[in-house]
Structure 1
Amino acid sequence: MYYIHKHNIFRLVIIAFLTVIGHCAWATSPTTHNMKSVEVSSPNAPLQPIMIQGPMPIEAQYFTALLSNVTIEYAGNAVFYKGTLDGYPIVVAKTGKGLENTAAATAIGIERYHPRLIINQGTSGGHDPSLKVGDIVLGERSVNASNFKTPRLAQGEGSNPLNWNPMDIMASEGSAGEGSSAKDAEKLRFYLGDKQLIALASSLANQYERGSVVKGTIGSGNFWNNELDRIAWLNKNLGTSVEEMETASAAQIVHAYRTPFLGIRVLSNNITNHGEYDPTTAEDCQAFVAKVIKAYISNIDG
């Protein structure tokens, strides 16, 4: 009985082995049935769009008109125009004016569209007397030029903005104005533009006919400075080439999301050298940014 039992076990093992082999052969062999079929491939990951920001209609409409297959989406005060340029997905964000609108639109745009890079562009006022209306500044740096702490003065002692101290609101989670953390906050915070985008834009400077294309510092704040002494102070102490109301707030949000970023601003006026306001510069800036984006798209691998 022992040998019969052992023999039966051996037969069962052989049968199980042959069954597995047969199943594997059947699973890997080509289909031979005559039924109709279709093979559905795994989809490719969607391309990350490029986002172009402009605060006012005149700073967004020209670029939007360059897009194909445009759809429009709204969020808060922002309007997002989705389309393609040279077959590549683009989102033009009309952010609205000011630091708050721009910061909100930037965060919404990143969360919703996951852009591979963001360019904030539009008009600006000159701080550097050597720059003329129509010149373009590539934001090698941007800075919030309205973050200041005033010295303590008694009632009746007036106010002197030329004595204000810088205040870095991102220095710590403590107070930026009082207490032990306040001293660490007495500094400027500059956000650097993406070096590759700056290099690409600089390489196209000779294709811009309205004026010069230079690297510089973009100062942002919810103000419109007409005091020449204040403008000169900002230019000297912050190194500002131009002022506007958006770039630094976008840069601050973009930095938190680790997204490549560049500010590109055209001078629409410059009271330091009597350069009168010219709104047509907004279109010139967008046309130059379009050249930068087209060159970027043409260099994307694959």
Structure 2
Amino acid sequence: MRPPVLMLIIAVLVAPLAARAQTPAADPTPRIVVMSAFPPEMTQLRAATTDAREVRVAGVSFVTGTLEGRPVVLVLSGMSMVNAAMTTQMALDHFPVRAIVFSGIAGGIDPGLSVGDVVAPDAWAEYLDGDFLRAGSDGRFAATRGHVPAYGMLAPRPVTVVAPDGTARPMDWLPADPALLAVARSMPRAELKRCAEDAAGGAHCLGAPPRLVVGGHGLSGPVFMDNADYRADAFATFHAQVLDMESAAVAHVAYANATPFIAFRSLSDLAGGGAEDQVRVFMRLASDNSATVVRGFLRALPAR
């Protein structure tokens, strides 16, 4: 092999190692990761963060600073389960993480909840992991292979999770941290927005003041769910309150890394159970309500 060709191959192989070597060293300050999926959910949180400093890791922007008196690192997970899992692990690999707190919007599937409410579930499920069932000659789908009833051809099943000790087991629900949930239950009540303004300047006000609900179940999957029939089935099957596209993936990675996790999700829509334009009208209100609760939660956390 000619020397120039050999040098070129070596350069190609070494380049990724050099890039990793340039990755910033871990921040020595234990921090709370405050994560949102996309920019509108992060606006209020980023504006309230002081001493902000950006650190880029593999193209992802992490912002360290202080929020409500707590050392934090802010990051956008990106929408989808894969993006959320990847970004969460990246944060854990590059920062000494005290806890992970997610702030964002979601679809409500519990008929007892309304747009604007903020929910902090005590457990999350990856509801679209499962089987697409085979249809028999009579057109009926084969019996589900899991213990959760199928919805047509879709049969959910538990996700196998590897725990920090290396053991793997199927898990129906990925838990939020009990101590963080206790703080959320005891924190002072936050003043949440009730009215949203549309692009034309018109006001859209909710029928009742939004509230914080701690507990219950959340579902996450790689689709935007906007279907009234499936909404009803998901509530009946999983007894869940909210549905989004990231939280269960973050909970999964947090559990595997023995890191405390909690997610606050404000309802921007009713996942197919409300008006067609609910997300457009109430996304800003829901994002701000979730961020307001998260800021109050950070203030309520015991200092360490």
Verify same fold: TM over 0.5. yes
CA contact (8 A) 2:161 2:252 kept: no
Structure whose residues are more often helix by fraction: 1
1:168 aligns with 158
Instruction: Please report how far the alpha carbon of residue 169 of structure 1 lies from its aligned counterpart in structure 2 after TM superposition.
Output: 3.3
Measured in 2, the distance between the counterparts of 1:233 and 1:77 equals 39
The answer to whether 1:100 aligns with 2:100 is no
Q: In structure 1, which of residues 196, 204, 217 is the aligned counterpart of residue 187 of structure 2?
A: 204
Pairwise CA RMSD: 2.6
| Residues 128-277 of structure 1 aligned to structure 2 (within 5 Å) | 128-154=110-136, 157=139, 161-162=151-152, 164-170=154-160, 189-204=172-187, 206-210=189-193, 211-214=210-213, 215-270=215-270, 271-274=272-275, 276-277=278-279
- Identity across matched positions, percent: 23
Report which of the two structures shows the higher radius of gyration computed on alpha carbons. 1
Distance of aligned partners of 1:248 and 1:171 in 2 relative to their CA distance in 1, 3 Å threshold: closer
1:64 aligns with 46
The residue matched to 1:50 in structure 2 has which SS? strand
Deviation string 1:65-118 (CA, Å, 9 cap, x unpaired) is 111111112334632111112553210111110100000000000110121000
The residue matched to 1:121 in structure 2 has which SS? strand
Normalised by the length of structure 1, the TM-score is 0.73
The answer to whether 1:122 aligns with 2:104 is yes
Measured in 2, the distance between the counterparts of 1:195 and 1:117 equals 12
The residue matched to 1:253 in structure 2 has which SS? helix
1:288 aligns with 293
Hey, which bits of structure 1, 4+ residues long, moved more than 4 A? none
The residue matched to 1:124 in structure 2 has which SS? strand
Instruction: Please report how far the alpha carbon of residue 143 of structure 1 lies from its aligned counterpart in structure 2 after TM superposition.
Output: 0.7
Instruction: Please report how far the alpha carbon of residue 171 of structure 1 lies from its aligned counterpart in structure 2 after TM superposition.
Output: 6.4
Distance of aligned partners of 1:274 and 1:130 in 2 relative to their CA distance in 1, 3 Å threshold: farther
Instruction: Please report how far the alpha carbon of residue 246 of structure 1 lies from its aligned counterpart in structure 2 after TM superposition.
Output: 0.3
Instruction: Please report how far the alpha carbon of residue 52 of structure 1 lies from its aligned counterpart in structure 2 after TM superposition.
Output: 0.5
Measured in 2, the distance between the counterparts of 1:218 and 1:141 equals 6
Measured in 2, the distance between the counterparts of 1:103 and 1:261 equals 13
2:172 maps to a residue whose letter is: R
Q: In structure 1, which of residues 43, 67, 81 is the aligned counterpart of residue 63 of structure 2?
A: 81
Unaligned runs of 5+ in 1: 1-44, 173-184
Instruction: Please report how far the alpha carbon of residue 256 of structure 1 lies from its aligned counterpart in structure 2 after TM superposition.
Output: 0.7
Q: What number of residue pairs does the alignment pair up?
A: 243
